[in-house]
Amino acid sequence: MNPVVRLSRRRFLALTGVSASGLLLGGLVSGESYAATHGSEASGQRLNLFVSLLEDGTVEIIAHRSEMGTGIRTSLPQVVADEMEADWARVKVVQALGDAAYGSQNTDGSRSIRNFYTTMRQMGAAAKQMLEAAAAERWGVPLEQCRAEQHRVLHSDGRALGFGELAAAAAQQEVPDPAALTLKSREQFRYIGRDVPMVDLHDITTGKAVYGADVTLPDMVYASIERTPHLGGRIASYDGTAARKVRGVLDVVELKAPEGAPGFNNVEGLAVIARNTWSALKGRKALQVKWTPSEHSEHNSEAYLDALQEKVRSGPGQVARERGDVDAALATAGKVIEAGYRTPYLAHAPMEPPVTIAVVRGEGCELWAPTQNPQATQAAVAAALGLDKAMVKVHVTLLGGGFGRKSKPDFSVEAARLAAHVGKPVQVAWTRGDDIRHDYYHSCSAMFLRAALDEEGNTTAWLARQATPPIGSTFDTSVNLMEDGDLSQTFGSVPFAVPNLRVESHEAPAHTRIGWLRSVYNIPFAFGVCSFVDELAHAAGRDPAEYWEAMIGEDRHLDFAPEGFEFSNYGRPIAEYPYDTARLKNVLRTLVANIPWGEKLPAGQGWGLAVTRSFLSYVAVASKVSVADGKLQVLEMHGVIDAGTVVNPDRVQAQMEGGMIFGLSVALLGQIDFEGGAVKQSNYHDYPVARIQHTPKTIRSHIVPSEALPAGVGEPGVPPVAPSIANAVFAATGKRIRELPLSQHFSV
């Protein structure tokens, strides 16, 4: 019998010739060495929570958010270094552990820069002032005669001290009151607003970057878990005899799910524990298990969407926002346009499936995970093991994609529970099939829109209804109706200056775990709203870009309160981040000015556009398509974003373009189907994401210069993409597509 050999994934790629160069790029990383190089224990003199300084002049800056390719481990330290007057070449970024002291570490919702921009500036400015105070003390001069500049503190007479020389003395200074700090003017910025390469770029491109599956611990064992195929399923019976006979298998463990709402808990399953991954997977295949039925075990997504579509079309729902008299305007209109739209469930499908390494010792639990939310992991694991949160230590590795999936710590709970059971370090690594079939899925959605047009084609009434399973159901199973906060994502917050408007919601009970995915409800709602505006423009015989401007109306800051709508502004005060229609129209105008909008095209080609505000940013996207012999090809995509103050333009450009490609995947290919309560798809072959052949040769993004407060970047590029492509299809063919994905209607 051949021996089972433990092989790193990089070693496997090298030996099989899959890696680009055929060279071994790196091996696995021990937990101890990972902690030494990536832990949050900075080794220098601590100046404040985020900044430490070594005597050799190295500035250590804590990155408290998770890096998944966005560059946030660069951009936030970039802000600190600018205010501190640190030389970027002498900055070392240190990844934080999960710790409430840092404030929120939940790296989703496009919040990192917009929520921590000022805080990071203050941290840098405070460190700078402490260095200046230490120099003034050493020289015996007034503080006003000292100023920091590029890693030195200078005196007005020409004397200078390096940051390293002042490290110990600076750490003894009183930390300044943030309110008393003087921050730089925009003209003084060295790094903010400029392209700075990602600090992880070299490691990522040379195979040295450390992801979750790269971490190993001595005596570590491996677990593969067979999970219930439908929500609420329980183990009815099982036989693990054959699994235990597989060479390398150590145990078969029942992993019970808690009662109640899914939350961040594990789903019920059977874990096969083995000395290596191969044995764990082989043992799992040998399991014989029967599952109990539940109220969700007959869920069929197509029939469910049909029922939701009929519900929104057939009658009124709960009113969320209203002005004027919509019914009267529709009854007396010269022309009424109506349409129904629907979107399927979606999976996150990041390149790296969930994985966690956990060890439980007497003093608590320690984990290594590619998590977007280490504090949620800390809390969930503590609850599962009956520990205080302070006894759970979470190391954050790099993430091979996340899109919101890895902000849910269920996979880390699995590893922690199994580590507590076996008394050894455990790695739980999900397969691609596990990830596709046991996700927190993006909601499916059904929408119905009706509008009244006057003789000039102007919209005089807007009626919109939707039925979408809410994310709240994951935490409270009684929740089946969207709240105003959910509807604020495009559907209820439409900026239209029409005299009569009403937004309604119908109940939509959830039959699976629902979670947030990149841009969340803006995906389906932008598809419905932006497609319908295009329909109205064509019904009125007017240019869609011009019609958008007419629908938006005069420049103003929107106030939803008089219409009974509790607008949720992505967690930020409306006074700081008003909904500004002038900025919305400006991205549209900028887009049209940068593409050949209105050009005469060959038969079968067309342009389409869409405009949205999401995560406090304003975005317009235009797509050019070709449709020939039933095949749809996206030829060009152009995007414009006004995200307020931009810290790192290169990263904003990359995220905007990445968001458009993500939106392209959603538009062309994204679809999860349920049958008998279980997900039918299992991997990229039947849940494909956009590849080279789907991607347009031309993708361009444009950043609108702005001095407004920083807004979101990672997600706003996604929502306008699908409607822009669908609208382009109509321009090219006269065929209106009202259901995603487009692969249902064309070869793509």
pLDDT of the residue at 4: 38
Shared domain for 226 and 319, answered yes or no, is no
Any domain includes 409: yes
Query: Three-state secondary structure along 367-401?
Result: EEECCCCHHHHHHHHHHHHCCCHHHEEEEECECCC
Shared domain for 361 and 343, answered yes or no, is no
Are the C-beta atoms of residues 689 and 349 closer than 8 Å to each other? yes
The answer to whether residue 544 scores a pLDDT higher than 90 is yes
* Between 457 and 39, residue with greater pLDDT: 457
Any domain includes 30: no
Shared domain for 705 and 733, answered yes or no, is yes
The answer to whether residue 35 scores a pLDDT higher than 50 is no
Number of folded domains that form the chain: 3
Shared domain for 613 and 738, answered yes or no, is yes
Shared domain for 44 and 72, answered yes or no, is yes
pLDDT tier at 7, thresholds 50, 70, 90: very low
pLDDT of the residue at 334: 92
3-state percent helix, strand, coil for the chain, nearest multiple of 5: 35, 25, 45
In single-letter form, the type of residue at position 454 comes to: D
Which of 387, 403, 429 is where one domain is finished?
429
pLDDT digits (tens, 9 = 90+) for 269-292: 999 999 999 999 999 999 999 999
The answer to whether residue 23 scores a pLDDT higher than 80 is no
Counting residues of the chain whose pLDDT is more than 70, the rounded percentage is: 95
pLDDT digits (tens, 9 = 90+) for 350-401: 999 999 999 999 889 999 999 999 999 999 999 999 999 999 999 999 999 9
Shared domain for 478 and 405, answered yes or no, is no
Any domain includes 223: yes
Q: Poorest-confidence range of 7-16, 300-309, 665-674?
A: 7-16
The answer to whether residue 27 scores a pLDDT higher than 70 is no
Peptide bond into 741 cis (omega under 30): yes
Shared domain for 183 and 202, answered yes or no, is yes
Domain CATH for 240: 3.30.365.10
pLDDT digits (tens, 9 = 90+) for 187-206: 999 999 999 999 999 999 99
Distance CA 314, CA 317 (A): 10
Q: Containing domain of residue 709, as a range?
A: 301-347+440-744
Shared domain for 169 and 137, answered yes or no, is yes
pLDDT digits (tens, 9 = 90+) for 405-435: 999 999 999 999 999 999 999 999 999 999 9
pTM for this predicted structure: 0.94
The answer to whether residue 130 scores a pLDDT higher than 60 is yes
* Cα angle value 276/278/283 (rounded, 5°): 100
Strand 221-227 and strand 426-429: the pairing is: parallel
Q: Write down the H helix ranges in 461-619.
A: 484-487, 522-539, 544-552, 581-593
Q: Poorest-confidence range of 30-44, 311-325, 566-580?
A: 30-44
Shared domain for 90 and 73, answered yes or no, is yes
Shared domain for 487 and 620, answered yes or no, is yes
pLDDT of the residue at 41: 62
Which of 206, 236, 253 is where one domain is finished?
206
pLDDT tier at 18, thresholds 50, 70, 90: very low
Any domain includes 2: no
Shared domain for 586 and 730, answered yes or no, is yes
pLDDT digits (tens, 9 = 90+) for 654-711: 999 999 999 999 999 999 999 999 999 999 999 999 999 999 999 999 999 999 999 9
Any domain includes 17: no
Shared domain for 166 and 253, answered yes or no, is no
Q: Quick one: average pLDDT of 300-322?
A: 98
Which tokens is 123 given?
């941290």
Select from 160, 158, 284 the least CA-distant residue to 227: 284
Average pLDDT value over all residues in the chain: 94
Q: Quick one: average pLDDT of 103-109?
A: 96
Which of 172, 206, 240 is where one domain is finished?
206
Select from 30, 385, 1 the least CA-distant residue to 220: 30
pLDDT tier at 43, thresholds 50, 70, 90: confident
pLDDT digits (tens, 9 = 90+) for 134-187: 999 999 999 999 999 999 999 999 999 999 999 999 999 999 999 999 999 999
Any domain includes 538: yes
Counting residues of the chain whose pLDDT is more than 90, the rounded percentage is: 94
Any domain includes 4: no
Any domain includes 59: yes
Are the C-beta atoms of residues 211 and 352 closer than 8 Å to each other? yes
pLDDT of the residue at 537: 98
